[in-house]
Amino acid sequence: MTHRHYGNRSSSYYAHPSHGDPRINVIIRIDAIEESARVVVRGVVTPANIRALYVVCRRVAAKLPDYELVVDLAHARVTADAIEELHEHARRSVLSSGIDASVTPCRLRIVDPPAILRIKEHA
């Protein structure tokens, strides 16, 4: 991902979770004026595929360490467990690696999905 010190820039990525898990599509919008990076998520976010979202977010936070990171779930469906986990990371201002116990400090804000799109985890 490249960064310019003027204007806005968007990049699109597909996050590939493990086989059988739903896919998520991620678009990154960088606003240099506001010093924020918005990660717009589409698809279904579950505890099984949230690691793919963490990987994308950590890359953005590493490239833009002083920027606010906004995870926009307004167009996604999210399980109750996944949204709770994301809110906990935002409250603590950290990003998980999703693999081990390591965390990356960042200014993190979550835009919740519409209540009617929240889904329960399949057993």
pLDDT number for residue 10: 53
In a domain, 73, yes or no: yes
Q: Per the structure, how many domains does the chain have?
A: 1
pLDDT number for residue 101: 77
pLDDT number for residue 21: 62
* Ordered mean pLDDT values, 10 residues apiece, the chain (123 residues): 48 48 90 97 92 94 95 94 94 84 90 69 50
In a domain, 31, yes or no: yes
Rounded to a whole number of angstroms, the CA Rg of the chain reads 14
> Rounded distance, CA 22 to CA 16, Å?
9
pLDDT number for residue 99: 72
Range of the domain at 110: 8-117
Residue 93: C-alpha distances to residues 29, 75, 99, 123 (Å): 20, 23, 18, 30
In a domain, 15, yes or no: yes
pLDDT number for residue 22: 79
Q: 93: domain CATH number?
A: 3.30.750.24
At residue 86, the 3 state secondary structure works out as helix
Judge contact between 116 and 41, C-beta under 8 A.
no
In a domain, 95, yes or no: yes
